[in-house]
Structure 1
Amino acid sequence: MTRPGTLVAAVAAASLTIGVLAIAPAASATPASGSVVTRAALDPALVAGRGADVRFLEQEAENAATNGTVIGGGREAYTLEAEASGRKAVKLLPGQYVEFTLPAAANAITVRYSIPDSPTGGGLTAALAVKAGSQKATLPMTSQYAYLYNQYPFSNDPNAGLLHPDWWVTECACVPQFTTPTPTFSTPFRPTKFYDEERLLLGKTYKAGEKIRLTAPAGVAWTVIDLIDTEKVGLPHVKLVASNVLLFGADPTGRRDSAPAIDKAIAFAKKKGLTVYIPPGTYRVDRHIVVDGVTIEGAGSWYTKIKGREVALAQPAADGSVHTGVGFYGQDAAVGGSSNVHLSGFAIEGDVRERIDTDQVNAIGGAFHDSSFSGLHIQHTKVGLWFDGPMSNVVVEDNIIVDQIADALNFHIGVVDSVARDNFVRNSGDDGMAMWAESRGGTTATNARNVFDHNTVQTPTLANGIAIYGGRDNTVSNNLVADTIREGSALHAGSRFGAHPFGGTLNFIDNTTVRAGTFELNWKIGLGSIWIYALEGSISGIHVTGDSYLDSTYNAMMLVSDYGVKDLYSMSDVAFANVRVDGTGTSVLSARVAGGASFQNVDARNVGAVGINNCGSFNFTPAGSEFAVTDLGGNDGGGTTGPWMASWELPNTITCDDRPPVVVPPAPSAW
Structure 2
Amino acid sequence: MRSNTFGSVRRMPAIGATVALAAGMLLVLPPTAAHAASGAALPFTSVEAESATTTGTKIGPDYTQGTLASEASGRQAVRLASGQRVEFTAPRAANAVNVAYSVPDGQSGTLNVYVNGTKLAKTLTVTSKYSYVDTGWIAGAKTHHFYDNARLLPGQNVQAGDKIAFEAGNVQATVDVVDFEQAAPAATQPAGSVSVTSKGADPTGQGDSTQAFRDAIASAQGGVVWIPPGDYKLTSSLSGVQNVTLQGAGHWYSAVHTSRFIDQSSSSGNVHIKDFAVIGEVTERVDSNPDNFVNGSLGPNSSVSGMWLQHLKVGLWLMGNNDNLVVEHNRILDTTADGLNLNGTAKGVRVRDNFLRNQGDDALAMWSLYAPDTDSSFENNTISQPNLANGIAIYGGTNIAVKNNLISDTNALGSGIAISNQKFLDPFHPLSGTITVDGNTLVRTGAMNPNWNHPMGALRVDSYDSAINATVNITNTTITDSPYSAFEFVSGGGHGYAVKNVNVTGATVKNTGTFVVQAEAQGAAKLGNVAATGVGAAGVYNCPYPAGSGSFELTDGGGNSGWSSTWSDCSSWPQPGQGNPDPDPARNLLKGRPATATGSQDVYTPGKAVDGDANTYWESTNNAFPQSWTVDLGSRQAVRRVVLKLPPSSAWEARTQTLSVLGSADGSSYSTVVGAQGYRFDPARGNAVTLNLPQNTDLRYLRLHVTANTGWSAAQFSEVEAYLTS
TM-score, normalised to structure 2, is 0.73
> RMSD across aligned C-alpha pairs, in angstroms?
2.1
Greater mean deviation of Cα atoms: 127-136 or 74-83? 127-136
**Helix, strand or coil for the counterpart of 1:288?**
coil
Alignment of 1:386-465 (within 5 A): 386-438=317-369, 444-465=370-391
Find the aligned partners of 2:516 and 2:271 in 1 and give their Cα distance. 45
Provide, for residues 625-644 of structure 1, a one-character-per-residue CA deviation record: whole Å limited to 9, x for no partner.
6111101111112xxxxxx1
- Which of residues 26, 29, 41 is equivalent to 1:39? 26
2-side partners of 1:619 and 1:490: how far apart? 26
1:175-574 equivalent positions in 2, closer than 5 A: 190-218=142-170, 220=171, 222-241=172-191, 242-270=193-221, 273-290=222-239, 291-308=241-258, 325-329=259-263, 331-333=264-266, 337-367=267-297, 368-438=299-369, 444-496=370-422, 497-498=424-425, 499-540=428-469, 541-562=471-492, 564-566=494-496, 569-574=497-502
SS at match of 2:481: strand
Q: In 2 relative to 1, CA 654–36 (structure 1 residues): closer, same or farther, beyond 3 Å?
A: closer
The amino acid across from 1:358 in the alignment is S
Give SS of 1:99's match: strand
Provide the residue aligned with 1:628 in structure 2: 553
Q: Retained in 2: the 8 A contact 1:390–1:413? A: no
- Residue type at the aligned position of 1:239: Q
Q: Give the Å deviation of 1:656.
A: 2.8
User: Can you list the C-alpha shifts for 1:569-605, whole angstroms capped at 9, x where unaligned?
Assistant: 2021111000111111100011110011000101111
Q: Is the 8 A contact 1:613 1:657 kept in 2?
A: no
Distance in 1 of aligned mates of 2:538 and 2:24:
35
Cα separation, 2, equivalents of 1:44 and 1:453: 16
Report what 1:54 is aligned to. 42
CA distance in 2: counterparts of 1:469 and 1:604, whole angstroms: 28
1-structure distance, mates of 2:574, 2:568: 14
CA distance in 2, matches of 1:275, 1:615: 59
Tell me the distance in 2 between the aligned counterparts of 1:43 and 1:225: 25
Contact residue 390 and residue 445 of structure 1 kept, 8 A: no
Opposite residue 192 of structure 1, the aligned amino acid is H
CA distance in 2, matches of 1:582, 1:89: 23
The aligned counterpart of 2:532 is 604
The whole-number CA distance in structure 2 between the counterparts of 1:437 and 1:645 is 37
Count of matched residue positions in the alignment of Structure 1 and Structure 2: 549
Q: 1:73–1:88: 8 Å Cα contact kept in structure 2?
A: yes
Whole-angstrom distance in 1 between the partners of 2:493 and 2:348: 35
Q: Structure 1 residues 619 and 213 mapped into 2: Cα distance closer, same or farther (>3 Å)? A: closer
Q: Structure 1 residue 445: deviation in Å?
A: 2.0
Residue aligned with 1:262, SS:
helix
- Cα-to-partner distance string for 1:486-511 (whole Å, 9 max, x where unaligned): 11100001111243111101110000
SS at match of 2:215: helix
Give, as a single letter, the amino acid of the residue that structure 2 aligns with 1:227: V
Matched residue SS, 2:554? strand
Deviations 1:198-235 (A, max 9, x none): 000011212211111100012x2x21000110111111
Alpha-carbon deviation of 1:274?
2.5
1:580 match: 508
Q: Does the 8 Å CA contact 2:29/2:37 hold for their aligned counterparts?
A: no
Q: Secondary structure at the match of 1:391?
A: coil
The answer to whether the 8 Å contact 1:617/1:626 transfers is no
Unmatched runs of 5 consecutive residues or more in structure 2: 1-21, 582-726
Q: Does the 8 Å contact 1:244/1:279 carry over to 2? A: yes
CA distance in 2, matches of 1:414, 1:326: 22
The answer to whether the 8 A contact 2:461-2:499 is kept is no
Contact 1:612 1:655 in 2 (8 A): no
The reply to whether residue 645 of structure 1 matches residue 564 of structure 2 is yes
Unaligned runs of 5+ in 1: 1-34, 119-123, 154-166, 170-188, 309-324, 439-443, 638-643
Map Cα deviations across residues 592-628 of structure 1 (whole Å, 9 max, x no partner).
100110001011110001210001345459xxx6111
Partner SS for 1:95: coil
8 Å Cα contact 2:535/2:578 also seen in 1: no
Cα pair distance change 1:81/1:37, threshold 3 Å = closer
Q: Deviations over 1:163-185 (max 9, x none)?
A: xxxx7x7xxxxxxxxxxxxxxxx
Residue 178 of structure 1 is matched in structure 2 by: none
Partner SS for 2:238 = strand
Quick one: which of 96, 103, 113 aligns to 1:115? 103
Asked if residue 132 in structure 1 is aligned to residue 115 in structure 2, the reply is: yes
Going from structure 1 to structure 2, the CA distance change for 1:43 and 1:37 (only over 3 Å counts) comes to farther
**Which 4+ stretches in 1 moved above 3 angstroms?**
42-48, 617-621
Contact 2:24 2:50 in 1 (8 A): no
Measure the CA separation in 1 of the matches of 2:341 and 2:410. 18
Kept after mapping to 2: 8 A contact 1:295/1:341: yes
